Amino acid sequence: MLISLCMIVRDEEKVLGRCLDSVQGLADEIIIVDTGSQDGTKEIARKYTDHVYDFEWINDFAAARNQSLRHASGDWILVMDADEYVQPGMQDQLRRKLERMKADRPHCFLVKIMNFHGDRGEQLYESTGARLFTNKRGIYYKEPIHEQLECSEGQIQFEMDSFALFHSGYMTDTVMEKGKNERNMKILLDMATESKLQDPFFCFILGNEYANSGSQEQAYEYYKRAMEKAPLTTAWYEHLLDRLCQTALKTRNLKDAEVYIELGKQRWPEQADYHCLEGMLFECLGFYNRALLSFQRCLEIVERCQAKGEKYWVIEERYGGSIPHLTSAEIARKCADLHKMVYHLTAVLKVDRQNFSVLRMLLRTLARHESSDNVLAFMNKLFPISDPKNAFVLLQVAQLEGLAELAVFYWDACKENNVPLKYADELSFHLLEKKEANPKSSQLIDPRLALLASVVYKDSRYCNMAESQNALLNKLAQQLLEERADKVESQPWLADEYALLTQLIVQLLQYGYINEYESLVNRFADEELLHRLAEQLNSLDYADIAIELYSILLDNDLLRGEGYKQLGIYCLVHGNFQQGILFMQKAVELSPSLDMLGLVMENSADQDVSEFVRAFTDWTEKEKITLPLLTGSNSN
C-alpha cells in the first residue's frame, strides 16, 4: 500500500466531503480519528472508509495525530485537515514520484499550502507544511498545538515538493464559527513557561494567535522576541518577517517597520512583497509620491516575473496585485487623478471580478466624468451583459450609486435575459425613475431603502417592510414626514439615527431628489450631521459639496480636526499652499493623523512648515511614534 491519509476531525460535516472527494485516486487508505463530533462528521467519514476511530480530546493535537498514525499501513503518510483539499491534477504526479522512491528511512516532503483568508477567500497566503512522510520510521508528532515532527530513529530528511493543498479554514466565517482563536490561545498559554518563551518558534505561533484575535500590540512583542533568536534558514523565517512588518505598521512602530522592510528588500529584491510594504509605509505617512514609486516598482517586478513564468511574491500574492493597485487608486482619488484611478481599479477587477466595492467605485467614477454611452462601452468589455449575472450585478451597482441612465440600460438587459428581479429591485428602479410605487406588506427590504421610499413617497408603511430596525425607522420617518419648513432645534439624535439620517440625505442627492435633500439639510443640520455628511460625500467624490459643508462649519467656528485636514488637502491639491498649510497646522493641533506629515512635506512648495512640524513632532513623541522620515532619511 502506497499512501495512507491520516486525519483528525471534529464537527467538520460542512467540509469533510470536499476533502475526501479530492483524495480519490491518491490515497489507498483513509484513517479518520474523531475527537468528539456532535454533528454528522462520522457518518460522512464512513461513506469513504471503515477506518473511523474515536479519541477523547485532551487539548493535545500531537496526541490525536499520533493516534491516527498508529492505524496507518501505507508506506507514506499524507496528513490533511478537513478544511483542506488537494490541488486537482496533482494526484497521479505525486503517486508516480512516491512509487519510484524507497520508504526505508525518515523522509518528509514539505508541501505548499495555499491559505484562503478574508470574507470571500479573496486573500491568499502561501505557506509550507510537513505533510507527507515515511511511515513506520520512528516519525511522530510533538507539542500540543502547532505540532512538529520528531523522529526516534535519526534525523528526518526534509525536501520541498510542488504538491499543493488548499486551506479554507482561515476564512472569516469559519474562524468565528469554530472559535479557533480561543481554543488555540488556551492551549498556548498553558504551555507558556519561562523556558518555552525562549523558543523563537513558540513565540512566533503565540504572536500569530494574538494577531488573529486582534491583539496587535501583544502580537508585535512576541514577533520581536521570535526575531531575536530565529535562524535565517528556518522555514518560517519569511513568514515571521512579513508579519513583523505588518504588525509594526498596524501598531505605528514605523521606525522598526522601515528597518524590517529594508531587510526584506535586501533578501528578496526581485519579489514584490517588500516593495509593496514600503509603499504601504509611505502611504500611511502621507508621502504619496514616494508610495506610488514603490508600488510602481512592485508592479514592474510582477510584469517581469510573469513574462518569465516565475513567482513574483514571497508570502502573499496580493502584494503584487490588489494591494498596490487599490492603494494607488485611493491616492489617485485623493489627488484628483481620474485616469490613474480608473486604470488601477480596472486592474483589480480583472483579477478579482467579485470585488463589489471596487466595481461600485469604478462605475461611480466613470459616470461622473464620462457619457453614459462611453461608460456602457467600457464596462461591457469588463463585464459583458450577454452574461445574465453581469447584467444583474451592474443593475445593483447602478441603483446603489443612483445612476439612472445606466440603471435603465441594465434593467432592460436583465429583462431581455430573463433575470428574476425582486420587489426591492423594482422599488429602487421606480425611485430612480421618479415613478410611483406601492408598498407590499409581504415583502422585506433593506432598512435604508425603506426609509428612502418612506420619505420620497411620504408613506411610512415602507418602514414596516424593513428587514430590521423597524421601530427606529418609524420614529425617524414620523419626524421626517412632519410638515414644517422651519429648522428643527436640538434634536436628541442617537448614533444609529445619525447614521440612518446621513445615509438618507446622501441617497436623496444621489437619486436626484435635490429639493428633498436641501429640505432635510436645512431642517436637521447640526454640527454632528454636517460633519457626517461632509465625510460621507467626500468619500463618494462629491468633493465640492463636502468642501462647502466644511466651509459652513468653519464659518461658524464648529469645524473639527478632520474637517481642517480635508480643507488643507483641498487647498494643497489645488495649489493654494499657504492656506493649505495653515489648515493642516490647525488639524494637527485638533486631531492629528500620520498622513498629515507627507501631505504637508510633499506639497509645501518652499513654504515655512516649521510650526506644523513642531506640532506634529510633539504629538508623535507623546504617542511614542518614531518617524525616521522626519529627519530626512529615505528608504528609497
Confidence (pTM): 0.80
CA quadruple 174, 179, 184, 187: dihedral sign: negative
Out of 113-122, 259-268, 370-379, 471-480, pick the least confident. 113-122
Residue 335 lies inside a defined structural domain of this protein:
no
Identify the pLDDT of residue 633.
Answer: 40
pLDDT at 415 over 90: yes
pLDDT at 313 over 50: yes
34's CB contacts (< 8 A; 6+ apart) are 8, 9, 10, 41, 42, 45, 52, 53, 54, 55
Distances (CA, A) of 569 to 361, 565, 566, 575, 585: 21, 6, 5, 10, 12
Identify the pLDDT of residue 471.
Answer: 82
Identify the pLDDT of residue 233.
Answer: 86
Q: Which of 59-63, 190-194, 272-276, 499-503 has the highest mean pLDDT?
A: 272-276
Residue 123 lies inside a defined structural domain of this protein:
yes
Residue 302 lies inside a defined structural domain of this protein:
no
Q: Tell me: the pLDDT tens digits for 11-35?
A: 999 999 999 999 999 999 999 999 9
Q: Cβ–Cβ contacts within 10 Å for residue 491, how many?
A: 14
From 113, 147, 178, give the residue that closes a domain.
178
Identify the pLDDT of residue 488.
Answer: 58
Q: Tell me which of 588 and 606 has the higher pLDDT.
A: 588
pLDDT mean over 243-270: 95
C-alpha to C-alpha distance for 242 and 273, rounded to whole angstroms: 8
Q: How confident is the model at residue 485 (pLDDT cuts 50, 70, 90)?
A: low
C-alpha to C-alpha distance for 137 and 116, rounded to whole angstroms: 33
Please, is 273 exposed, middle or buried when counting C-beta atoms within 10 Å of its C-beta (0-12, 13-18, 19+)?
buried
C-alpha to C-alpha distance for 205 and 43, rounded to whole angstroms: 33
Identify the pLDDT of residue 631.
Answer: 38
From 110, 145, 178, give the residue that closes a domain.
178
Domain hosting 565: range is: 561-636
From 146, 162, 178, give the residue that closes a domain.
178
pLDDT mean over 113-125: 68
Residue 31 lies inside a defined structural domain of this protein:
yes
Residue type at 410?
Y
Identify the pLDDT of residue 474.
Answer: 84
Identify the pLDDT of residue 119.
Answer: 55
Q: Tell me: the pLDDT tens digits for 172-225?
A: 454 455 566 777 888 888 888 888 899 999 999 999 999 988 899 999 999 999
Residue 220 lies inside a defined structural domain of this protein:
no
Residue 295 lies inside a defined structural domain of this protein:
no
Q: How confident is the model at residue 492 (pLDDT cuts 50, 70, 90)?
A: low
Identify the pLDDT of residue 407.
Answer: 97
pLDDT at 351 over 70: yes
pLDDT > 70: percent of the chain: 94
Angle between helix 200-212 and 180-191 (nearest 10): 150
Out of 269-278, 473-482, 531-540, 584-593, pick the least confident. 473-482
pLDDT mean over 363-372: 95
Q: How confident is the model at residue 90 (pLDDT cuts 50, 70, 90)?
A: confident
pLDDT at 484 over 90: no
Do 398 and 406 contact (CB within 8 A), yes or no? yes
Identify the pLDDT of residue 69.
Answer: 97
Identify the pLDDT of residue 225.
Answer: 95
pLDDT at 296 over 90: yes
Q: How confident is the model at residue 490 (pLDDT cuts 50, 70, 90)?
A: low
Q: Tell me: the pLDDT tens digits for 434-469?
A: 999 999 988 899 999 999 999 999 998 999 898 887
pLDDT mean over 45-53: 97
Identify the pLDDT of residue 486.
Answer: 60
* Number of domains comprising the chain: 2
Identify the pLDDT of residue 362.
Answer: 97
CA angle 274, 113, 326 (to 5 degrees): 40
Chain-wide mean pLDDT for the chain? 90
Residue type at 405?
E
C-alpha to C-alpha distance for 588 and 584, rounded to whole angstroms: 6
Residue 321 lies inside a defined structural domain of this protein:
no
Residue located via cell numbers 485611493: 330
Q: How confident is the model at residue 632 (pLDDT cuts 50, 70, 90)?
A: very low
Residue located via cell numbers 503584487: 320
Do 448 and 503 contact (CB within 8 A), yes or no? yes
CA angle 485, 486, 490 (to 5 degrees): 135
Q: What is the CATH number of the domain that holds 53?
A: 3.90.550.10
pLDDT mean over 43-54: 97
Q: How confident is the model at residue 589 (pLDDT cuts 50, 70, 90)?
A: very high
Residue 478 lies inside a defined structural domain of this protein:
no
Identify the pLDDT of residue 413.
Answer: 96
pLDDT mean over 535-559: 95
Do 461 and 427 contact (CB within 8 A), yes or no? no
C-alpha to C-alpha distance for 188 and 190, rounded to whole angstroms: 5
**Per-residue 3-state assignment (H helix, E strand, C coil) for 480-508:** HCCCCCCCCCCCCCCHHHHHHHHHHHHHH
Identify the pLDDT of residue 343.
Answer: 97
